């Protein structure tokens, strides 16, 4: 008993007080910082990019495909590509995830998440989510679990993961959606009561990521049903996830 | 000669691998009586299918490689599983991928194929009932289906059905191999899989990795081990409703993975390891900070584990729950941490040590476990402390600046007609990567074996005669990978 109390006191306060302005280590690879005028079209970056997220003329990176591995930055001899530690990367459409020269964090944030008004009205104070891993490698899953730990404590905003789709207001999908999970995913979606939101979490869910060329995928679900939020990352950092979802429900 | 004897991290000429008849090889495998490390097929064009077998001699650190050529019309053979049960999953996989049937296999169930119409084992009786769980589970974890045969609260049998995560990784690895893809094979063993992949490619390309880069790699591997073990100690605490433990271990794990973020820009070490070496150096300022952090982590973990183990209500949940005894573990071929917890002395860091690990000359600690949840809990604690101490030692060694090149220049020259093997001990156990090239130096087959592939059946045996409510606890104590198995 006393040992338990001692451990508790020793731990002190662990939670991040201001989650919207939490500091991030400078090494974190977040929003790409591109300088197209430095680019000499050597195409070295194209050949090392594992997902084809890069495009030249003009230079752009699709964060929906990017694994933030930094390989392009490492091979770029003219310093045209860099990554900032800006971590609020969520957006309400796929198109908004394409970063070009001059995309700055605060600018990006202003227009990144624009959603129907209904979402704020219905889910503004409480959003219960059902997570479905459809071929996810456990990277995003571990980070989503971390969202609920004592550091990030997502529950304080009324956002939680629940055990049943029947109790949920929306789905969080990770992984490239394998053929063998396609049926279960759709079943889960249909079991979630309306109105509901769909959140794609991580490069695999948004674009197939490193698995986009696999013949074992079945991504028809995404053609059939609307998606409300795209959260890039490989895996998605808990701060990225929480801030994106807060952006969604605060309209 | 029926076998080629080789070591870890080597390549052999494909044409030198003996090709036997299946009946001969079967006799050989049974008489050698070694542990299967790999047993996989490769399409051999118009000649049929070639089966490659690698057996591991853990005591001497030797690998035995041989092969069989099945002609187009040879579609069956006498199964090995009847004699050596540890082959059961390998033979099932081989049958699923190449349609060559092991006769008299006791349980020829698909490994990864969609199994909608599969009929589970059923038990009959008045009080017997089935509990079906999954593929989508209550928590935020990967998908898999569990079917329990229960009598009241007691589980008589658990049948596990996987394959939901199949993403076709082995095929993708042949088409366009990359470090990013290797890191996504199993996202909780990023370093282990990426290291195994990088080593295989370095062997094929004859690249030498500098001493400093090797040290940073070993450091990352040990940090990954410590971080996951601490996280799982927390998850075990959570599953017995000891929330204090779940909170403290959760927060402590954050310290380790945030140190990894400082080293590599990713909490799980993505982007750190590359074919040829590592992408990031660690300067003295970061080293000092990391050593201080690890000292704090050691204290926190020790304090919490000791507090937990003093608590009788904790011990009553951990002790004698989910036991796999040493004979069973050996018979079904458990590997890695799960095997060590049963008292089997398997650790490829020592058995198949690479240059860097040998140079550290670490003492091998033998864990005397009984194979229950308590053993796995205590082993994880011991390994956490061990990994943190190794990490601190490597960090101290890295303080001396060196002129070593961190990333060796990458060539595109790949050895032709080669068979390269690399074994890395991830936190779960041995991660085995094997690559085959043809006469044009193109990759033609890439085989991955995650330790979960061997160990899932161990979980099924562990829950027998336990309460169904103890399943989450047993499951977390193993914490096996779904996508590592499904690939």
pLDDT band, very low/low/confident/very high, at A3 (cuts 50, 70, 90): confident
Residue A217 forms contact with B (CB below 8 Å): yes
- CATH 3.30.460.80 range(s) for chain B read 4-103
Q: What is the mean pLDDT of residues A229-234?
A: 93
Running along chain B, 487 residues long, what does each successive block of 10 average in pLDDT? 89 91 91 92 91 92 92 90 92 92 90 82 86 88 92 90 92 92 93 94 91 93 94 93 90 93 92 91 91 93 91 90 91 92 91 87 87 93 94 91 82 88 93 93 92 93 91 91 92
The three-state secondary structure class of A36 is helix
Would you say domain B169-486 falls under CATH 1.10.645.10? yes
- CATH 1.10.645.10 range(s) for chain B read 169-486
What are B279's strand-pairing partners?
Answer: none
According to DSSP, the β-strands at B101-103 and B4-6 are unpaired
Contacts of A28 in chain B (CB under 8 A): 261, 265-266
Contacts of B410 in chain A (CB under 8 A): none
* CATH top class, domain B4-103: alpha beta
Is the pLDDT confidence value at A105 over 90? no
Stretch 24-63 of chain A: residues touching chain B, C-beta under 8 Å:
25, 27-29, 50-51
Listed by start position, the domains of chain A span 117-249
Residue B435 in contact with residue B204, Cβ under 8 Å? yes
Q: How far is CA B421 from CA A7, A16, B64, B196, B352, in A?
A: 46, 45, 11, 9, 11
| A135: nearest CB among B167, B251, B264 | B167
Q: The sheet that has B443-449: what strands, in order across it?
A: B10-13, B418-425, B430-437, B443-449
Using CA coordinates, name the residue in chain B closest to A210.
B181
Contacts of A134 in chain B (CB under 8 A): 143
The C-alpha atoms of residue A90 and residue A97 are separated, in whole angstroms, by 8
Residue A31 in contact with residue A246, Cβ under 8 Å? no
The C-alpha atoms of residue B183 and residue A27 are separated, in whole angstroms, by 19
Percentage of the residues of chain A whose pLDDT score is greater than 90? 50
pLDDT of B372 reads: 92
- Mean of all residue pLDDT scores within chain A: 89
Contacts of A149 in chain B (CB under 8 A): 247, 250-251, 254
Is B268 in Cβ contact with A139 (below 8 Å)?
Answer: yes
- Domain formed by A117-249, architecture: 3-Layer(aba) Sandwich (3.40)
Is the pLDDT confidence value at A1 over 80? no
Closest CA to B417 of B433, B435, B404, B399: B435
Higher pLDDT, A9 or A138: A138
Give the DSSP H or E segment for A113. none
Residue B108 in contact with residue B100, Cβ under 8 Å? no
pLDDT of B95 reads: 93
Residue A225 forms contact with B (CB below 8 Å): no
The C-alpha atoms of residue B430 and residue B196 are separated, in whole angstroms, by 10
pLDDT of B448 reads: 94
Is B190 in Cβ contact with A139 (below 8 Å)?
Answer: yes
Closest CA to A227 of A108, A96, A128, A92: A92
Gap from A90 CA to chain B (nearest CA, Å):
18
Phi-psi region at B281: left, alpha or beta (left = phi > 0; alpha = psi -120 to 50) = beta
Q: What is the mean pLDDT of residues A58-80?
A: 89
Closest CA to B188 of B483, B487, B486: B483
Q: What is the mean pLDDT of residues A9-17?
A: 82
The three-state secondary structure class of A170 is strand
pTM exceeds 0.90 for this model:
yes
The C-alpha atoms of residue A239 and residue A246 are separated, in whole angstroms, by 10
Q: What is the mean pLDDT of residues A97-118?
A: 82
Gap from B176 CA to chain A (nearest CA, Å):
8
pLDDT band, very low/low/confident/very high, at A251 (cuts 50, 70, 90): low
The C-alpha atoms of residue B242 and residue A10 are separated, in whole angstroms, by 17
């Amino acid at each position: 008993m006393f040992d338990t109390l001692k451990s508790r006191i020793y731990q002190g306060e662990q939670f991040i007080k201001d989650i919207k302005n939490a500091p991030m280590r400078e090494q974190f690879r977040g929003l790409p910082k591109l300088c197209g005028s430095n680019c000499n079209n050597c195409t070295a970056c194209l050949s090392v990019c594992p997902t084809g997220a890069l495009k030249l003329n003009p230079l752009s990176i699709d964060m929906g495909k990017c694994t933030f591995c930094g390989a392009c930055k490492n091979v770029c001899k003219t310093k045209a590509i860099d990554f900032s530690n800006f971590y609020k990367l969520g957006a309400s459409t796929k198109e908004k995830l394409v970063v070009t020269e001059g995309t700055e964090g605060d600018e990006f944030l202003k227009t990144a998440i624009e959603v129907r008004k209904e979402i704020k009205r219905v889910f503004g104070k409480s959003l219960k989510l059902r997570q479905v891993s459809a071929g996810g490698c456990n990277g995003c899953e571990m980070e989503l679990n971390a969202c609920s730990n004592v550091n990030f404590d997502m529950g304080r905003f009324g956002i939680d993961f629940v055990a049943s789709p029947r109790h949920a207001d929306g789905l969080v999908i990770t992984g490239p959606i394998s053929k063998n999970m396609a049926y279960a995913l759709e079943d889960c979606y249909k079991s979630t009561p309306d109105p509901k939101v769909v959140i794609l979490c991580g490069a695999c869910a948004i674009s197939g990521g490193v698995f986009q060329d696999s013949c074992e995928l079945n991504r028809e679900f995404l053609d059939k049903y609307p998606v409300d939020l795209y959260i890039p990352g490989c895996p998605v950092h808990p701060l990225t996830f929480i801030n994106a979802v807060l952006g969604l429900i605060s309209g | 000669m029926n076998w080629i004897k080789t070591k870890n991290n080597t390549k052999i000429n494909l044409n030198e691998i003996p090709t036997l008849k299946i009946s001969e090889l079967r006799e050989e495998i049974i008489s050698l009586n070694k542990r299967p490390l790999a047993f996989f097929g490769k399409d051999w064009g118009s000649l049929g299918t070639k089966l490659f077998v690698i057996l591991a001699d853990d005591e001497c650190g030797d690998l035995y490689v041989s092969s069989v050529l099945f002609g187009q019309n040879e579609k069956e053979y006498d199964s090995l599983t009847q004699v050596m049960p540890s082959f059961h999953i390998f033979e099932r996989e081989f049958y699923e991928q190449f349609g060559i049937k092991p006769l008299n296999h006791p349980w020829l169930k698909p490994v990864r194929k969609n199994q909608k119409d599969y009929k589970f084992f059923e038990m009959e009786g008045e009080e017997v009932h089935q509990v079906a769980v999954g593929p989508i589970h209550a928590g935020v974890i990967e998908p898999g289906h569990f079917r329990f045969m229960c009598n009241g609260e007691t589980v008589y049998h658990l049948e596990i059905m996987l394959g939901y995560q199949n993403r076709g990784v082995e095929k993708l690895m042949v088409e366009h191999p990359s470090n990013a893809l290797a890191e996504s094979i199993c996202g909780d063993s990023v370093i282990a899989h990426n290291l195994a992949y990088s080593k295989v490619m370095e062997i094929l390309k004859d690249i030498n990795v500098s001493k400093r880069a090797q040290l940073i790699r070993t450091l990352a591997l040990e940090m990954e081990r410590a971080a996951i073990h601490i996280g799982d100690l927390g998850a075990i605490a959570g599953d017995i409703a000891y929330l204090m433990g779940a909170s403290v271990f959760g927060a402590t794990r954050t310290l380790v993975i945030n140190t990894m973020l400082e080293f590599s820009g990713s909490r799980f070490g993505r982007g750190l390891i590359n074919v040829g070496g590592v992408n990031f150096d660690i300067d003295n300022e970061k080293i000092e900070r990391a050593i201080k952090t690890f000292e704090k982590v050691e204290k926190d973990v020790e304090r919490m584990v000791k507090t937990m183990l003093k608590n009788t209500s904790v011990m009553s949940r951990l002790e004698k729950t989910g036991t796999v005894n040493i004979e069973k573990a050996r018979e079904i071929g458990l590997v890695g941490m799960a095997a060590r917890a049963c008292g089997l002395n398997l650790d490829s860091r020592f058995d198949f040590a690479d240059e860097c690990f040998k140079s550290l000359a670490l003492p091998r600690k033998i864990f005397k476990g009984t194979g229950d949840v308590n053993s796995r809990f205590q082993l994880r604690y011991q390994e956490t402390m061990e990994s943190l101490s190794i990490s601190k030692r490597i960090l101290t060694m890295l303080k001396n600046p060196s002129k070593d090149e961190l990333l060796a220049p990458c060539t595109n020259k790949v050895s032709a007609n080669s068979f390269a093997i690399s074994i890395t001990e991830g936190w779960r156990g041995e991660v085995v990567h094997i690559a085959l090239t043809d006469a044009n130096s193109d990759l033609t087959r890439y085989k991955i074996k995650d330790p979960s592939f061997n160990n899932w059946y161990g979980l099924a045996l562990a829950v027998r005669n336990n309460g169904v409510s103890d399943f989450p606890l047993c499951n977390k104590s193993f914490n096996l990978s779904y996508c590592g198995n499904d690939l």
